[in-house]
A and B are shown apart, each in its own frame.
Chain A
Amino acid sequence: MPISQKIIEEINKNTHWSNEFKELLLEILNKEETVYSCKKEFEKLVEDFLSKEEGEIDD
């Protein structure tokens, strides 16, 4: 089931969250909905998020 419009709206309402963080939240929810061992997938998503963050700092 796709993530409901209500959740997307509520996430987007929070203007103090970065777009990357909002994307991360939605990706995690998608994994929770579709993947059986979602914890491993969560870790991977957070690690990707952190390496992007590190890349930005390096730049």
Chain B
Amino acid sequence: MIKIDEVRFLNYRQYRNFSISFKDNKSNLFVIRAKNGTGKTTFLSGILWCLYGNEYLQNEKKALKIVNEKVATEASNDQKIVVEIAIKVATPENYLEITRKQQFVVKTDLFNNNKTVKESGKSNLYVTVSSLIDKTNSQPYEGVEAENIIKQYFDESIYNYFFFDGEKLQSYFDKQNANMIQNSIFNISQINLLKDAIKHIKELFKETEKRIQKEFNMDENLYAKRDKAIEDIEKIEKENEELEKEKNGYDEQIKDYENKLRGYNPVKQKQLERERLERSLYNLNIRKKQFIDDRNKFIREYTILLNFAPRIKKTMKLIELKREEGALPPSIDKEKLQDMLNNNVERCPMCNSPVTDSVLKYIHEILQRLDYSQETGNTLNQLYVALETMMFKIERYEEEKAKIIAIEKNIRDEEQNIEDALNQIRKFMLSYDVDIDDINPSEIEALLSKAKKGRDWVVGRISSNKVRIEQLIKDKEDLEKQIKEEEDSKVLKGKLVRKSEIYKNIGDSFAFVRDEIMKRVKHEIEMSTWETFNAMAWKTNTFSGIVINDNYEVSVLNKNGKEMTGSLSGAESMALAYAFTLAIHKASGRNCPLVVDSPLGRVSDENRINMANELLKVSKDKQIIMLFTPDEYSNDVSDVYDNIVEIKNISLTDDESEVILVGDLYE
């Protein structure tokens, strides 16, 4: 149970220096009795101001400042007054001392001696949390931290379910209050916490899903492509193995045919000549290959040079012009010349010649003409030499081109001559159709020619296959690299997919828990409200239950299950309000005290006794502080409470400036 042990006021409205204890009593029920206008409602406002910095007055603008009038009147000009209210609260876990202070300053009008009170800053909340066992072990809090502690026990959004005016209880069922109640219940039962967690988890889930879609656009065909490349390489390599064998076969045949021709005297010389020509053709082909490389290099080089020739010429002319103007420094550094002038040297540091006046004059003239630094001059000179070389090459273009054409022609002619000679030998051989000693050169030549053709085709095929293999190996390596990257990213993707699954599971689980708790809390409030209402309402044959909808609007049902909230009497509405309030207290999990002004409101007759009895029952495990006027605390009520509850009578002093505790108001 959470109990208010003591409330202490300093300079607060009529409560100038007032302290009231709720510690020692036979029950948890306390009665404060005060005549109208003597600070009964102000007591409640003081508690609200202490906890929330807001008195929740009906007409705040027209209300007086909270400073005690007499204290303000007695104060001198510029005197500071501190208003302070402290509430000591005992909870099952610890002991709280909640204090709010605000400083005011009094200003006196020197002409008419009128005094005004002004706030000197905002009010400040302080909460000291002490251990129940050792009160010296305490921790002070202020500002937001202190407000958070108050929120845990007396959530401001439902303040009027802790501290309220019995005469206004019916208005607690207004729709706008239902929203407030719903929100507060969601806060106290941590449904809002679950909702926030769901929201954040959903955001993380969406972010992860997006990342998976963006980063892992997997190409599932990579493996198939890689396997196909390997298969093709193997196939072509196998084909080449076969072709090599075929080539060796042709080589054997060729060798055999050539041996035969070389061994047959009438054609021996021709065959030897052919072999020589073929060697020459082989060497010529090597030269031809080298020539083609050189020719390509020549084309590339001269394409650039000829394209840039106009610019090269222009740049050279510009440098020449600067040279003519003497704007480029000589090989001596400009700075060294300047040093000679500055230091009045007698001899030249470079050549040791005497430095006469005419020499100095000459140096002075040179320096005036020099526009560029030595470094720039050197660069321009180097550039000029390079451009000169280029121009030299450009000038030799026609000559070089003629050389290339001549070499090409020479190779072609030589090639043609060899081919012609070989053709003649071939024709000769083919025409040598004589069959002696089983050797017919013509037939052998035909077979040789066929074998050579066959071998040439095979060699060509092997060579193009090798190019294909090279390309396929490169493709395979690229694919393997991609596969490695994909596999690495697959591991990462797997992890992200699992992460997003977990986020989804967490979100779904929280949503499930949230829905269950919402149902459970609503059901508990429904049951608890019905239990208390049924006990407080004296009619036994009228009501059948209470329903609370998802928006926390309360309905009372009659015996036929029809809503009859609008038809409740004043006393029944009040009973419903109490029942609902106590149910909310129960749902919050914190058994907070109730401080009620006019707790029986306008309830009359036997209903007053019934309700007074019911509140007494409730007070067995809940602290209830009730504020009555002497009239409200009628004989029938006192019959229920006297000898059980502690009655504290408060009254104003004779000058009506402050509240004090007095004996029995009827005495």
Known interface pairs A4-B190, A10-B513, A50-B502. Does A32 touch B589 (Cβ–Cβ under 8 Å)? no
Interface: B520 (CB within 8 A) = yes
Q: With contacts A6-B517, A11-B513 known, is A43 near B495, CB below 8 A?
A: no
Contact with A along B546-562 (1 / 0, CB 8 A): 00000000000000000
Q: Tell me whether B193 is interfacial, beta carbon within 8 Å.
A: yes
Q: A32-B196, A49-B502 known; A7 and B190 CB under 8 Å?
A: yes
CA distance A58 to B633 in the complex (A): 76
Contacting residues of chain B (148-190) with chain A, CB-CB under 8 angstroms: 152, 189-190
In the complex, A48→B665 CA distance in Å? 69
B510 interfacial by beta-carbon distance below 8 Å: yes
Contact A42/B200 with A7-B190, A29-B193 known, Cβ cut-off 8 Å: yes
Is B203's beta carbon under 8 Å from chain A?
yes
Which listed residue (B197, B498, B516, B521) contacts A28, Cβ 8 A?
B197
How far apart are A25's CB and chain B's nearest CB, in angstroms?
6
- CB neighbours (8 Å) of B503 from chain A are 46
Residues of A within 8 A of B495 (CB): 50
Quick check: is B204 within 8 A (CB to CB) of the other chain? Answer: yes
Answer whether residue B194 sits at the interface, using C-beta atoms and an 8 A cutoff: yes
User: Min CB distance, B474 to chain A, in Å?
Assistant: 37
Q: Determine if B589 and A46 form an interchain contact, defined as CB atoms under 8 angstroms apart.
A: no
Number of interface residues of A (CB under 8 A): 27
A51 to B3, CA, bound (A): 48
Q: Is the beta-carbon distance between A32 and B152 smaller than 8 angstroms? A: no
Measured between beta carbons, the chain A residues less than 8 angstroms from B204 are: 39, 42-43, 46
Nearest B-chain residue to A25, judged by Cβ: B509
Complex Cα distance, B498 from A47, in Å, reads 10
CA distance A10 to B538 in the complex (A): 37
* In the assembled complex, B506 has its CB within 8 A of some CB on chain A: yes
C-beta contact mask, B515-539 vs A, less than 8 Å → 1, else 0? 0110011000000000000000000
**Complex CA–CA separation, A34 to B117 (angstroms):** 41
Whether B201 sits at the interface, judged by CB under 8 Å, is: yes
Is the CB of B505 closer than 8 A to any CB of chain A? yes
Set of chain B residues within 8 Å of A38, measured between Cβ atoms? 197, 200
Please give, as numbers and ranges, the residues of chain B lying within 8 Å of A28 by CB-CB distance.
Answer: 197, 201, 506
Residues in B with CB closer than 8 Å to A32 are: 193, 196-197, 200
Name the residue in B498, B499, B506 with the highest tally of chain A Cβ atoms < 10 Å from its Cβ: B506
| CB of A22 to closest CB in B, whole Å | 9
Q: A25-B510, A43-B204 known; A1 and B505 CB under 8 Å? A: no
CA distance A46 to B204 in the complex (A): 11
For B196, the closest partner residue in chain A by CB is: A32
Q: A6-44: contact bitstring with B at CB < 8 Å (1 yes, 0 no)?
A: 110011011001000100110011001100001100110
**Could you tell me if B190 and A1 are in contact, using CB atoms closer than 8 angstroms?**
yes
Q: Which residue of B lies closest to A17 (CB)?
A: B509
Which applies to chain A's interface (DSSP): helix, strand, loop or mixed?
A: helix
Which B residues are in CB contact (< 8 Å) with A14? 509, 512
- B509 cross-chain contacts in A, Cβ below 8 A: 11, 14, 17, 21, 25
Chain B, interface size category, equals 20 to 34
Residue of A nearest to B198 (CB): A32
Contact A33 B193 (CB under 8 A): yes
Chain B nearest CB from A26 CB (Å) reads 11
Q: Is the CB of A25 within 8 A of B506?
A: yes
- A4 to B188 CA separation, bound complex (whole angstroms): 9
Query: Which residue of B193, B201, B505 is within 8 Å of A42 (Cβ)?
Result: B201
Q: A46 — which chain B residues lie within 8 A by C-beta?
A: 204, 499, 502-503, 506
- Contact yes or no, A24 B521, CB < 8 A: no
Give the chain A neighbours of B498 by CB distance below 8 A. Answer: 50, 53
Bound-state CA distance A29–B513 (Å) is: 12
Interchain CA distance A40-B197 in the complex, whole Å: 12
In the complex, the answer to whether A29 meets B499 with C-beta atoms within 8 Å is no
Bound-state CA distance A5–B201 (Å) is 22
- Which chain B residues (241-264) contact chain A, with CB distance < 8 Å? none
Q: Which residues of B contact A21 (CB under 8 A)?
A: 505, 509
A17 to B512, CA, bound (A): 12
Contacting residues, chain A, for B513 (C-beta < 8 A):
7, 10-11, 25
Q: How many Å lie between the Cα of A14 and that of B515 in the bound state?
A: 14
* Minimum CB–CB distance for A43 against chain B, Å: 6
Nearest neighbor of B190 in chain A, beta-carbon distance: A4
Residues on B with C-beta less than 8 A from A49 are 502
Q: For B203, list chain A residues within 8 Å (CB).
A: 39
Q: What chain A residues lie within 8 Å of B190 (beta carbons)? A: 1, 3-4, 6-7, 29, 33
B-side contacts of A25, CB under 8 Å: 506, 509-510, 513
Give the CA-CA distance A31 to B342 in the complex, in Å: 78
Rounded to whole angstroms, the CA-CA distance of A25 and B514 in the bound complex is 12
Chain A residues within an 8 Å CB radius of B152: 1
Residues of chain B with a CB closer than 8 A to A3's CB = 190, 193
Q: Which residue of B lies closest to A6 (CB)?
A: B517
| Interface pair A6/B520, CB less than 8 Å apart | yes
Complex-state Cα separation, A13 to B516, whole angstroms: 11
In the complex, residue of chain B having the shortest beta-carbon distance to the beta carbon of A49? B502
Given contacts A32-B196, A42-B201, contact A6 B505 (CB under 8 A): no
What residues of A have a CB within 8 angstroms of the CB of B505 in the complex? 21
Residue of A nearest to B588 (CB): A4
Min distance, Cβ B200 to any Cβ of chain A, angstroms: 5
Across the interface, name the chain A residue whose C-beta is closest to B505.
Answer: A21
Q: How far is B512's CA from A18's CA once the two chains are assembled, in angstroms?
A: 16
- A7, B197: Cβ atoms closer than 8 Å: no
Given contacts A4-B190, A49-B502, contact A29 B521 (CB under 8 A): no
Considering the chains assembled together, what is the distance between the CA atoms of A39 and B152 in angstroms?
Answer: 24
21 contacts across the A-B interface (CB closer than 8 A): A1-B152, A7-B190, A7-B517, A13-B516, A24-B506, A25-B509, A25-B510, A28-B197, A29-B190, A29-B194, A32-B196, A39-B203, A39-B204, A42-B200, A42-B201, A42-B204, A46-B204, A46-B499, A46-B502, A47-B499, A50-B502
**Which 4 residue pairs are nearest across A and B when measured between Cβ atoms?**
A32-B197, A10-B513, A10-B516, A4-B190
Beyond A6-B190, A50-B495, A50-B498, list 12 extra A-B contacts (CB 8 Å).
Answer: A4-B189, A4-B589, A5-B589, A6-B517, A6-B589, A7-B517, A10-B516, A17-B509, A25-B506, A38-B200, A39-B203, A47-B499
